Amino acid sequence: VHFSPSRYRCVPSVFYFFVYGEDSLDRLLPPVSTPRRKSTTLSKAEPPLLRTGTRTIYTAGRPPWYNEHGTQSKEAFVIGLCGGSASGKTTVANKIIEALDVPWVVLLSMDSFYKVLSAEEQALAASNDYNFDHPGAFDFELLVTTLRKLKQGKSVKIPVYDFTTHGRQKDWKNVYGASVIIFEGIMAFADKELLRLLDMKIFVDTDSDIRLVRRLRRDITERGRDIEGVIKQYNKFVKPAFDQYIEPTMRLADIVVPRGGGNMVAIDLIVQHVHSQLEERELSVRALLASAHQSQPLPQTLSVLESTPQVRGLHTFFGVPCVVQTPQGEEYEGRRFHGKGITGVSILRAGETMEPALRAVCKDVRIGKILIQTNMDSGEPELHYLRLPKDISDDHVILMDSTVSTGAAAMMAVRVLLDHDVQEDKILMVSLLMAELGVHSVAYAFPQVKIITTAVDKSIDDLLRVIPGIGDFGDRYFGTDGPALWSDEDDQPTPTSS
């Protein structure tokens, strides 16, 4: 039993810690089953949150994952869960998520990355003669690429594997914004490149008799299989694969968890370590922005519009000169957009005030929305919700917010777009009013982003509001700015004498 007291505090009779160098690993364990319908990939967020019929809205936001320069400075914390079939990996993962009690947790299942079977392999699978418990059954190249991008904070598409047709469904699942990634699968430790992405490796060790009983109960009650067929497949594929490929990887684990999801002492230890890692990775971006770029000149990427209609301003920056012939045979000089498409993205909710003007100019424009709010305890911006059109990476994006003070929310919004593979030089930040600090924050972090505004004020107050500014433009636009002296008592009925 080997463990580091500085990293883990444990009772040796409960945990087994193994420390091995990665240099001792082979790239992939040598090749040597059964169709399984275990967990599927899903994006998991813990309360507080709001659920509607079609979507989930986070009420606990995602804090900044980038520094004051706009570059990513922290990665998601990745936990790898390995173990035999029916060992309780998904149960352990869900117990960890429940105990962590943090938002923006992603549960990634290895079952999503089975290879697409050929016609011959599909015939074997239909007769239960294809080995799904073999390393060659998984698309490790796609898995490593996907997990690396997700760890780096990028938006990824996860395949949805259909165990009925033994192929991938047409629509893949979009996953973005993980602070913690829990990756589980029977071959989670089988690939060296995959191991390098794991910050914490956990092996779920469950007695083989218990795993067999769980498979019998699951396959008979949930899949309509007979007991003879289940035992035959277990002996032919599942047990040999565990002995040859899965159990040997136990030595690579940081923690071995006996008894699976029932071992709450182990889960508590894991949660303590993850919490400490998340605390070490916390960033303070807004405070750095407030002191940065104060003496710098305004950047060349800033364009301050004249007092002309917004429509003409949008035409000016998006159009290229062209001449068209009208139905009356006259030539008209105008401008035509030179690009694949335009998407507008509003920073809720004040950014929505600019949507009608954009729709008036670009009738078929697609609109996305990003909700960013300030955490009143930390003072940092937090990402709460986003809805972006598909294939936004091919478009020019107009990012809209009515006012920009420190630029913290604008930087987070730009970072979200970059994480979705939007090109930096295709992003235009459009605002009615900006403080010089906000201009500098965005421009020096993202020098290729074009900034368009109608005015620039020089300073902000202690509450980080633009001075002299235009107040809360969203409240004024939507009519939610009540009288300054309004109170609940104003709505109380006036007593009358009888």
- How far is it, in rounded angstroms, from Cα 232 to Cα 497? 88
Q: Confirm whether 488 is domain-assigned.
A: no
The reply to whether 251 and 376 lie within a common domain is: no
Q: What average pLDDT does this structure show over 434-457? A: 88
Q: What average pLDDT does this structure show over 234-259? A: 92
Please state the pTM of the whole predicted model.
0.65
Sheet of 200-205: strand order equals 42-44, 105-109, 180-184, 77-83, 200-205, 255-258
Residue 389: pLDDT over 50: yes
Return the H-helix or E-strand segment holding 387: strand 381-387
Q: Which has the minimum average pLDDT: 89-103, 184-198, 216-230, 452-466?
A: 216-230
List the structure tokens of 9. Answer: 């505090």
Q: Which residue has the higher pLDDT, 477 or 2?
A: 477
Instruction: Name the pLDDT band for 119 (thresholds 50, 70, 90).
Output: confident
Q: What average pLDDT does this structure show over 194-220? A: 89
Residue 482: pLDDT over 70: no
Residue 316: pLDDT over 80: no
Q: Which has the minimum average pLDDT: 185-189, 334-338, 440-444, 479-483?
A: 479-483
Q: In a 10 Å sphere around its CB, with 0-12 CB exposed, 13-18 middle and 19+ buried, how is residue 307 labelled? A: exposed
Give the residue numbers spanning the domain of 207.
22-280
Q: Confirm whether 79 is domain-assigned.
A: yes
- How far is it, in rounded angstroms, from Cα 495 to Cα 498? 10
Q: Confirm whether 496 is domain-assigned.
A: no
Q: What average pLDDT does this structure show over 57-86? A: 74
CATH code where residue 86 lies? 3.40.50.300
The reply to whether 157 and 93 lie within a common domain is: yes
The reply to whether 310 and 379 lie within a common domain is: yes
Q: 178: closest CA among 203, 140, 143, 146?
A: 146
Tell me the sheet residues that pair with 335. 321
The reply to whether 225 and 337 lie within a common domain is: no
CA distances to 33, 122, 153, 197, 451 from 115, rounded to whole Å, are 13, 11, 25, 21, 45
**How many Cβ atoms sit within 10 Å of the Cβ of residue 57?**
13
The per-residue pLDDT for 24 is 36
Per residue in 415-430, pLDDT (tens digit) is: 999 999 999 999 999 9
The per-residue pLDDT for 275 is 86
Residue 450: pLDDT over 90: yes
Number of domains in the chain: 2
The per-residue pLDDT for 104 is 80
List the structure tokens of 10. Answer: 């444990």
**In 3-state terms, what secondary structure has residue 365?**
coil
The per-residue pLDDT for 57 is 43
Cβ-proximal residues to 212 (8 Å cutoff; 6+ apart), any chain: 86, 234
Residue 14: pLDDT over 60: no
The per-residue pLDDT for 181 is 93
**How many Cβ atoms sit within 10 Å of the Cβ of residue 475?**
13
Share of the chain above pLDDT 90, in %: 25
List the beta strands (DSSP E) in 436-496. 450-453, 456-457, 459-460, 466-467
Ramachandran sector of residue 153 (left: φ over 0; alpha: ψ -120 to 50; beta: rest): left
The per-residue pLDDT for 138 is 94
Q: Which residue has the higher pLDDT, 322 or 145?
A: 145
Average pLDDT, the chain: 77
CA pseudo-torsion sign 25, 27, 30, 36: positive
Q: Which residue has the higher pLDDT, 236 or 215?
A: 236
The reply to whether 324 and 455 lie within a common domain is: yes
Q: Confirm whether 426 is domain-assigned.
A: yes
Q: Confirm whether 454 is domain-assigned.
A: yes
Instruction: Name the pLDDT band for 376 (thresholds 50, 70, 90).
Output: confident
The per-residue pLDDT for 286 is 62
The per-residue pLDDT for 75 is 84
Q: What average pLDDT does this structure show over 349-360? A: 86
The per-residue pLDDT for 445 is 87
Q: Confirm whether 497 is domain-assigned.
A: no
Instruction: Name the pLDDT band for 459 (thresholds 50, 70, 90).
Output: confident
Q: Do the Cβ atoms of 343 and 392 come closer than 8 Å?
A: yes
Cα 189 to the center of its chain, rounded Å: 23
Residue 218, amino acid: R
- How far is it, in rounded angstroms, from Cα 157 to Cα 471? 40
Residue recorded with tokens 């430790």: 189
CA distances to 53, 226, 242 from 236, rounded to whole Å, are 44, 16, 11
- Phi, psi (degrees; rounded to nearest 5) at 371: -105, 115
The per-residue pLDDT for 250 is 94
Tell me the sheet residues that pair with 255. 202
Residue 244: pLDDT over 90: yes
Start-end of H helices in 281-425: 286-291, 310-318, 355-361, 408-419
The reply to whether 275 and 311 lie within a common domain is: no
Residue 152: pLDDT over 50: yes
Q: Confirm whether 491 is domain-assigned.
A: no
The reply to whether 332 and 254 lie within a common domain is: no
Residue 289: pLDDT over 80: no
**In 3-state terms, what secondary structure has residue 147?**
helix
The reply to whether 294 and 275 lie within a common domain is: no
Q: Confirm whether 72 is domain-assigned.
A: yes
The reply to whether 357 and 331 lie within a common domain is: yes
Instruction: Name the pLDDT band for 144 (thresholds 50, 70, 90).
Output: very high
- How far is it, in rounded angstroms, from Cα 341 to Cα 396? 6
Share of the chain above pLDDT 70, in %: 73
**In 3-state terms, what secondary structure has residue 320?**
strand
Residue 26: pLDDT over 60: no
Cβ-proximal residues to 307 (8 Å cutoff; 6+ apart), any chain: 454
Instruction: Name the pLDDT band for 332 (thresholds 50, 70, 90).
Output: confident
Residue 38: pLDDT over 60: no
- How far is it, in rounded angstroms, from Cα 354 to Cα 345? 10
Residue 418, amino acid: L
Instruction: Name the pLDDT band for 400 (thresholds 50, 70, 90).
Output: very high
Q: 85: closest CA among 186, 11, 227, 17?
A: 186
Q: Do the Cβ atoms of 426 and 396 come closer than 8 Å?
A: yes
The reply to whether 299 and 200 lie within a common domain is: no
CATH code where residue 319 lies? 3.40.50.2020
The reply to whether 262 and 393 lie within a common domain is: no
Maximum average pLDDT range among 141-145, 158-162, 234-238, 463-467: 141-145
